[in-house]
Structure 1
């Protein structure tokens, strides 16, 4: 027999909610008011039967209308005010003011502050008028205390409204940030491979049009690269969608992006006609998942932009492991003044590649710069802090180690 780790959690009483909660509140207020008003109906003052017949329905309606307080807070507030005022004008006592306080709190808690202030003003003005006209039961001190209580109720309702509004705003911002993160991830995952497919297909088409008889072998190689890139893009798309759906799988369809897959990026860039050289400086150290993924995505997007826009032939990818941060540099020998589309000029642009890379770096407390190199070409440089959760070790001497084109550092 299976053991239930928390049986009492499901068996515990559940508080009413929605319309059931409104009905329960109206019933509770009515019960308290009726019990507190019994003595008033049995009072020493002689009252006609008509007055008694009118007082009981006023009392019941003042509490019963609270059932509609959340759907029509302002209307309920004014209704309770009129019924309560009429009840007390018949010289009945009792805690019927509780119904008015509940209605007033609801008006303020739903953000109708003008209506709440108007209700308080009418109550204070009416009670003050009765006091001035010589009522023995309402002194100036009583009016002052009543005003303070009503203002406190409105203040509590407004605090409730502000807290709920803040919670909704935080939730909305979190949802927006999550959508942006997903959009950035899909852009980085799919955009890289689609861009390479576009470049390779365009090159094959150009060769076929230029010299159909001698371009067969080169076109076949380009089409094979297109096939490989599309296969990887489809695999990574499925893996990303699987994570978004939180699918229960024995293993992901594709490994998580990281610098361990840098060699794959290099090979893909080489198939697009680029000569890629990788360099590693400093003592390598284990990276957190966030830092590893950010460095990988910055390199991926930079290589994508080089293949699409830079008209370059050679690219250098450099990783520098410092004391506190990782420096990722991607340099090319292309046209630095018009390269990279959305990342190739210092002027503002509407592209999402550079913006996405900068967002990744800034999210981890780093920074990213991109622009033409003084000697020609274009460079992207991202500095990403390791963070306190990364177990580091002292860096060795800064001796560059170069790998051949296509070799992983």
Structure 2
């Protein structure tokens, strides 16, 4: 048995004319059904006329254009209106006359240009038809003609409403897509900032320090070796980030683990930053979003310490609880009265802390950064424990 969803996909892949043909064929054949003879729309009191060759042409003129009702709605409406007018004036009253409200609905839905002009011309054509029918048949009062006109207007209005609803839905999808693209760009920017800024800052600080070690070849060699090692770590992290962003990548990327905090502290120390590391409690065995957030908070805080207060005492305090992890990184002022964020440093723009707040907030935590009165600059984050993601 064929899969219904597969059949639906095949049907949607067919041209519009092919998909609209069954309706046109059904209306064209409906007058041949004995039970439907004489059951078509009758406007006014024009006497019923038996079918003849012209009746067949009238049926075809009303039914066949429905095959192009979505592709050429204006052409479809013009032909159907012509067929309907002949049908009513000649008194055939075939069931194919049902094509008129269908054509009006389709035109209201699919016509892109000259909508008001089309509505006005169609209304004028109906008035002319009503006058012609009244002269031939009589008997119908004005209310009947007006009621039928209102019914046709409802068909057009339904198509126009559907058009507006589809346009609003398409606009909403575009807004959602744009918001998703913006969020993805912001996420990529945060990841690039986290990966690049930390390593590049360490390399800049180490390179600046190397300028003062020319008289000590051993220390100079060690410093330059650390610059190279930091650069290689940066390349590795960038490759990992590219693997994460590449949907075709099959290599399982490394996620920062809780132990990486110690490596961050070691890197900062090698760059000349005196860092004290205190860790309390047992770290969770998972290496999911919580561990990544903790790693990024420490990384950003140490990067800022290197940039804004190089050489100032810094303390990294990580406390692992059953429900959350608390991270606090405190950096003493490089100059009395001047906090790390106030020092003269390369421009950063604050993107790192902004991105960190967003990252931590997604996990249900919070992040604060600021100078304590008379004390150090402190970055403090609370990150709820969670499963690996």
- Both structures adopt the same fold (TM-score exceeding 0.5): yes
Q: 1:141 to 1:56 in 2, by over 3 A?
A: closer
| Residues in 2 aligned to 1:102 and 1:353: alpha-carbon distance in whole angstroms | 54
The alignment partner of 2:160 has SS state of: helix
Deviation at 1:317, TM superposition (A): 0.9
Comparing 227-236 with 53-62, greater Cα deviation is found at: 53-62
Deviation at 1:56, TM superposition (A): 6.8
8 A Cα contact 2:331 2:340, kept in partner: no
8 A Cα contact 1:66 1:103, kept in partner: yes
The alignment partner of 1:15 has SS state of: helix
TM-score, reference length from structure 2: 0.76
8 A Cα contact 2:332 2:340, kept in partner: no
Deviation at 1:292, TM superposition (A): 1.6
Q: 1:282 to 1:300 in 2, by over 3 A?
A: same
8 A Cα contact 1:116 1:154, kept in partner: no
Equivalence for 2:208: 202
Equivalence for 1:100: 104
Equivalence for 1:65: 68
Deviation at 1:354, TM superposition (A): 1.7
Equivalence for 1:190: 196
Equivalence for 2:43: none
Deviation at 1:199, TM superposition (A): 1.3
| Residues in 1 aligned to 2:203 and 2:305: alpha-carbon distance in whole angstroms | 14
| Residues in 1 aligned to 2:362 and 2:240: alpha-carbon distance in whole angstroms | 23
Deviation at 1:144, TM superposition (A): 3.5
Deviation at 1:361, TM superposition (A): 1.7
Equivalence for 1:232: 233
| Residues in 1 aligned to 2:309 and 2:223: alpha-carbon distance in whole angstroms | 19
8 A Cα contact 1:302 1:330, kept in partner: yes
Deviation at 1:319, TM superposition (A): 1.9
The alignment partner of 2:340 has SS state of: coil
| Structure 2 stretches lacking a partner, 5+ long | 41-46, 89-93
The alignment partner of 1:375 has SS state of: coil
| Residues in 2 aligned to 1:264 and 1:139: alpha-carbon distance in whole angstroms | 86
Aligned residue pair count? 357
Equivalence for 1:382: 381
Higher-Rg structure is 2
The alignment partner of 2:182 has SS state of: helix
Instruction: Give RMSD over aligned pairs.
Output: 3.9
Equivalence for 1:320: 319
| Residues in 2 aligned to 1:121 and 1:369: alpha-carbon distance in whole angstroms | 64
| Structure 1 stretches lacking a partner, 5+ long | 1-6, 69-75, 391-409
Equivalence for 2:91: none
The alignment partner of 1:16 has SS state of: helix
| Residues in 1 aligned to 2:131 and 2:298: alpha-carbon distance in whole angstroms | 80
| Residues in 2 aligned to 1:55 and 1:8: alpha-carbon distance in whole angstroms | 39
Q: 1:11 to 1:283 in 2, by over 3 A?
A: closer
Tell me whether 1:28 sits opposite 2:16 in the alignment: no
Q: 1:222 to 1:8 in 2, by over 3 A?
A: farther
| Residues in 1 aligned to 2:12 and 2:245: alpha-carbon distance in whole angstroms | 32
Deviation at 1:203, TM superposition (A): 1.4
| Residues in 2 aligned to 1:329 and 1:33: alpha-carbon distance in whole angstroms | 76
The alignment partner of 1:330 has SS state of: strand
Q: 1:350 to 1:65 in 2, by over 3 A?
A: same
11, 20, 45: which one aligns with 1:16: 11
Equivalence for 2:159: 153
| Residues in 2 aligned to 1:271 and 1:333: alpha-carbon distance in whole angstroms | 18
The alignment partner of 1:27 has SS state of: helix
